[in-house]
Amino acid sequence: MDKLPFKETLLEACQIGLKNLLSLIAVTVLYLLTIWIPYLNVGTTIAMESIPAELAKGHVIDPFFIFNGKYRKNMGEFFILLGLELMAFVPAFLLGIIPACVLSIAWGLAILLFVDKDMKAIDALRKSNELTYGYKWRIFGLALVFGIFFGIISGVLGFIGGLISDAVAGVVSVILSVLFVPFALGLDAVIYRNLTRENEPAEEAPKAEVVVEEVVIEEVKE
């Protein structure tokens, strides 16, 4: 069964982005305004990474959830996860851009699994690689189409804004960048939900009923 049908995945990502547009813009702005605060920014960063998992469950995002202290509880394991990824990405980049891209897609669900499923760093990386097996090109294609679509919109509106003034073009660019975030998170949510969804057990076939017909032999008395 295809867990990531191309058209349906893109459409659902846009639907999730539109449904949560205002709340996701608000949480993005809150994050950017507080990212300079030491220690607090660790928890808010982990919380931001968890958003696709929350969206995948159909939850409505409360912008202030990023300040919940629970996200700082496992900050040590979070840094271990980032460290393991960094140590692997360095040699992957040295071997070329393609191995690095493949590795980034293979481990793309690791942080979500770490936050949502409370997995250890190494287990999250291993599970992410397992879940994305056979879907790496599909994930790459979805992200590419998504990026091209928003790139075209950004380019057209930026050009129009540039005809007015450079300041207007800059404002348009910032606004579009912020608007892109909810839809990107929506795409991540659909990918995460579909790839982590357990296969539904096949319905047990009904047992065949054996009907025993009694044949009554009547003796015909002469």
Per-residue confidence (pLDDT) for residue 153, from 0 to 100: 82
Is 28 domain-assigned? yes
Low-confidence ranges of the chain (pLDDT < 50): 199-222
Alpha helices per DSSP H over 6-135:
6-19, 21-34, 40-56, 75-95, 97-106, 110-116, 121-132
Per-residue confidence (pLDDT) for residue 203, from 0 to 100: 40
Is 33 domain-assigned? yes
The token duo for 18 is 């539109």
Closest by Cα among 34, 148, 1, 76 to 156: 148
Is 209 domain-assigned? no
| CB atoms closer than 10 angstroms to residue 133 | 10
Provide the domain limits for residue 137. 6-196
Specify the number of domains making up the chain. 1
Is 56 domain-assigned? yes
Is 205 domain-assigned? no
Per-residue confidence (pLDDT) for residue 56, from 0 to 100: 93
Per-residue confidence (pLDDT) for residue 175, from 0 to 100: 80
- By the 8 A CB rule, do 124 and 113 touch? yes
Q: Which amino acid is at 92?
A: A
Is 60 domain-assigned? yes
Per-residue confidence (pLDDT) for residue 173, from 0 to 100: 80
Per-residue confidence (pLDDT) for residue 154, from 0 to 100: 78
Chain centroid, CA 154 distance in Å: 23
Buried/exposed 46-76: b ≥16 CB within 10 Å, e otherwise: bbbbbbbbbbbeeeebebebbeeeebbebee
Spatial neighbors of 140 by CB under 8 A, at least 6 apart, are 101, 105
